[in-house]
Chains A and B, each alone.
Chain A
C-alpha cells in the first residue's frame, strides 16, 4: 500500500501521466485549455508541453476518433500516435474513444504503428477484449483492463485476457473510479479491497492500478464552474486544479499506481505528494 514504506520495499513509486487528445481539446474548460495554449491543436506539440509540465508518461486519448465527434479514421489516428512517439521520449499510453466498434477498427492500426515502443493500450472490457488483446500480443504492448469499479468484473476481465493468451503481468487495472464529491468513499473501499486481495496472493488483482483522474475531476461542476456560477467555493483558477489534485491524492492513497492528470498545477501538487509519501515516515510529514 502507498504511504506504508515503513513496512518494506514498496517497489516503483506511483507515476504521473498527463492526458492529451488527438483532437477536440478546444472543448476543454477554459481554465484547463489556457494552460496548454495553442499546443492543443497539435498532439505532438501538446505531448511536448505535457512533458514540460511534469508528465512521466503521456496519455494520448483518441477522443477525435469518436463517431459522434471528429470521427477520425484508423489512418489518421495511427499517424497521430507516430507523431507523438516521435515528439517525446517518455512512455506512451494510447486510449481509444470507448466505442467498441470504432476502437476495434482504430486501435489495431495504432498498435502496429507503435510496434516495438512497448506502449500501454486501453481499454479492454468484459464485452470487448479479443481484438485489442490480439493486437497488443502481436505488437508487444501492455494492456489496460477496464471494469466499472467492480472487483468481481476486474478479475473477470483479467482472466478473459489471460485465457486469450495475454500475460497477467502485462496488464494494468483501470477501475472507472469517480471524482471527489461523487461517492468517493465507495471508490476508496473498492480499490483498497482489490489492492489488499492482490497483496495477499490473488494473482488476478495483483496488477498496477491506473486512475483516470483528470477526466473524472473535470467532469465535476466544482472543478468546471466559473466564478459567477460557483464563486462561493473559491476562484475557479484555484478551485479546478485543487479539485483534481485532491481527487488524485485520494486515489493515490487508495492504491493508484498510474494517475492520469490534466492541469499542470495539479500535476505539480500530486508529484509533491508522491515524493512525500514514498519516504519512510512520509505520512507524518503530510499531517
Chain B
C-alpha cells in the first residue's frame, strides 16, 4: 500500500492557521508524525487557506523538506500554480492532479516527463465526474494511452477513479470498485490505482469506520495507493491486513509490525 499522507491540507484548521501565521512547527510536526506512522509520501495542499497558492505551497514545501526527503504530492487544481511550483520542489514529486481531457493531460504528462515527477490523473473531464462505471473506465483508458504515448513509466502514474461522499452519491462507491477491477486489467504493468479516501465519508457520521471499511473493499478490487490519514492506526492496520488477505504480503505472527517496519525502512 502506497500511503500518501493527507494531513497537510489547508482544509484542516491547524494547517490553515499555520499557513496564515507562517508557523513552520505545525507543518514540520505533521510531516514527521505522518512519516513515523507509515506514510510513503505526503500530500501538500493549500486549500482555502491563502489567496497566494503558489507562495503558500512553496512555503509548505520548504517547511516539510527540513524534516523529510519523502516524495511530495503537490496538490493543486491550477495549472498556473502547478507548472511554477513543481520544477522548484527539491527531491521526489507527485503532481496531484490532472484531469483526463486530452489537451489538459498532455500538458501535465509533459511536466511529469520534464521534471521526472510522478502524476496523479483523475477519471474526470470537462463533463464532470462520471456517474457510471463505463465512463470511468473509458477515461482511465484514455489516461493510460496518453501517458504511454509520452513514455511515462507506469510506476510513475497514479489513476484516481474519484470517490464521492456516500451520503451524496450512494451508487458511486460500488461504481468505483467495479472501475478499479476493470482498469487493473487494461495494462501490464498496471499503473498505481489511488483514491482520495476520506472523501467517501465527507459530512457523514462514523467517518473512520466508513473510510476503513471502504479502503479494505477497494484494496480487494486492486487499489494499491490512497491519499489518507496514516496516523489513523486502525485504518493503516486494516490496509495492511487487506493486503495480507489478498495475497500481496505473506503472513507472520507479527505481520502488522513487519509491514510497519518495512514502511519505515523504505521511508528512510
Partner-B contacts on A (CB < 8 A): 151-156, 159-160, 162-163, 193, 197, 201-205
Across the interface, B253 reaches (CB within 8 A) one of A156, A203, A205, namely A156
Q: Does B262 contact A (CB under 8 A)?
A: yes
Across the interface, B258 reaches (CB within 8 A) one of A151, A159, A193, A201, namely A159
- Contacts A155-B251, A202-B250 known; 18 new A-B pairs at CB < 8 A: A152-B250, A152-B251, A152-B253, A153-B252, A154-B252, A155-B258, A156-B253, A156-B254, A159-B252, A159-B254, A159-B257, A193-B250, A202-B249, A202-B262, A203-B265, A204-B252, A204-B258, A204-B262
A204: chain B residues at CB < 8 Å are 252, 258, 262
How far apart are the CA atoms of A178 and B257 in the complex, in Å?
31
Say whether A155 contacts B261, CB under 8 Å. Answer: no
How far apart are the CA atoms of A153 and B254 in the complex, in Å?
10
Residue of B nearest to A160 (CB): B254
Expressed in whole angstroms, the minimum distance between the Cβ of B164 and any Cβ of chain A is 33
Say whether A162 contacts B261, CB under 8 Å. Answer: yes
List residues 213-268 of chain B with CB under 8 A from any CB of chain A: 249-255, 257-258, 261-262, 265
Expressed in whole angstroms, the minimum distance between the Cβ of B86 and any Cβ of chain A is 28
Query: Can you name 13 A-B residue pairings with CB atoms under 8 Å?
Result: A152-B250, A155-B252, A155-B258, A156-B253, A159-B258, A159-B261, A160-B254, A163-B257, A201-B262, A202-B249, A202-B250, A203-B261, A204-B258
Residue of A nearest to B262 (CB): A203
A159: chain B residues at CB < 8 Å are 252, 254, 257-258, 261
B257: chain A residues at CB < 8 Å are 159, 163
Expressed in whole angstroms, the minimum distance between the Cβ of B192 and any Cβ of chain A is 15
How far apart are the CA atoms of A186 and B96 in the complex, in Å?
47
**Counting chain A CB atoms within 10 Å of each CB, which of B249, B250, B252, B257 scores highest?**
B252
